[in-house]
Amino acid sequence: MTYNIDKMSAIAYVTDSKMLELHRLNRHKTMNFWRLSTNISFSAFHEDDLVFFLSKDKEHRKKDEKGIVGFGRLKKMSVASIKTMWDRYGIYNGYQTLDDFKQAILKVAKDKKLPKKISSFYLENVTFFQPVYLSECGVDLSNKVESYIYLKDPEVVLKLLSLAKHSGDLWTGTSEDQEAIIEEEKRFVLFKIHEEIKDLEQDEKTRKKAIRTLKQYMEEHPEYAPLYDSANELYRINKDLVEVVFYHDRYSDLKALAGQAFLYRKAFRDRFPDRYAFLFRCSDGDPVIEDYLN
């Protein structure tokens, strides 16, 4: 099966090592990843995708390749003045003072002038680890990359996360960081499976009803999130437990739902043989159907 690369992506971004060090030392789990460009239109980058940090100071000894030392999950993009950005996020911009923030921007500005506005990615689930390299994932990274590259192949992202998970704990230091990496690994597998199996076929009226139903379900259960662009599924990951909520009404094709549940279980069993458990729920809470799916 194939997946739509425009619906799933990650970015590896060249990042100021001093900024990363401040976030790492302060154990920040959120950060405002600022950028000089005010363009926030990315063709293949969306909320919940990952930003990997490429560090100039963590180069491969033989290849001079920049190392990836962490990641964060995109929560939102924004454009604002430097002062507004500082007032909004303060030290979570990566600097101790507004003056330090301005000096860092001046250092990379081509005309050596402070721009009126800059953009940013607000990131959650920020995690650091010992350097890993894209060449270890079969990707040739040019030393001339000055900003970012797309990582559109889910297998490359999953390989990076697997390497990060086993890269040692000199930077991570806690089991919490290992769990964060594993959570992202599971999330990406979940999204990848969804892109492969797609939503069940529905007429437009049923699709709109499913979307309304799941929106209401999220209002009552805010711990769940949409499974990418699905009109039929929500999810949440709680350590080793993965929960998927299927849209269900009396006209639902139960065999098709059971088939999707089987594919999710199989993919997780193959990749996480010791660390997975699935619980399937229905939007209408039908206990008979939930028992059937589980």
Name the average pLDDT for the chain: 84
Domain hosting residue 118, numbered range:
5-177
Both structure tokens of 1: 């099966």
- 189 in a domain, yes or no? no
Look up the CATH number of the domain holding residue 105.
2.30.130.30
Q: For residue 217, is it within any domain?
A: yes
Q: Output the six-digit token pair for 222.
A: 């805010």
185 falls within a domain: no
Q: Is the pLDDT of residue 2 over 60?
A: no
Q: Bridge partners of 246? A: 233, 282
Do 208 and 160 share a structural domain?
Answer: no
Based on the domain organization, do 171 and 205 belong to the same domain?
no
Number of domain units in the chain? 2
For residue 48, is it within any domain? yes
Claim to verify: residue 40 and residue 165 sit in the same structural domain: yes
Q: Are residues 49 and 102 in the same domain?
A: yes
pTM of the model: 0.81
Query: Which of 122, 145, 177 corresponds to the end of one domain?
Result: 177
79 and 119 both lie in a single domain: yes
| Residue 206 domain flag | yes
Distant-in-sequence, close-in-space partners of 104: CB < 8 Å, separation ≥ 6: 16, 18, 19, 94, 95
- Span 60-113, pLDDT tens digits: 555 678 889 999 999 999 999 999 999 999 999 999 999 999 999 998 888 888
pLDDT above 50: residue 244 = yes
The answer to whether residues 291 and 254 touch, using CB atoms and an 8 Å cutoff, is no
The pLDDT value recorded for residue 240 is 80
Same structural domain, 90 and 129: yes
CATH number at residue 260: 3.40.1350
Tens digits of residue pLDDT in 19-75: 999 998 888 999 999 988 887 666 667 788 899 998 877 665 556 788 899 999 999
């990418």: which residue's tokens? 228
Same domain, 151 and 90: yes
Residue 194 within any structural domain of the chain: no
pLDDT tens across 130-160, in order?
A: 889 888 888 877 666 668 888 878 888 889 9
Please indicate, yes or no, whether residues 57 and 160 belong to a single structural domain of this protein. yes
One domain, residues 254 and 144: no
Check whether 246 has a pLDDT greater than 70: yes
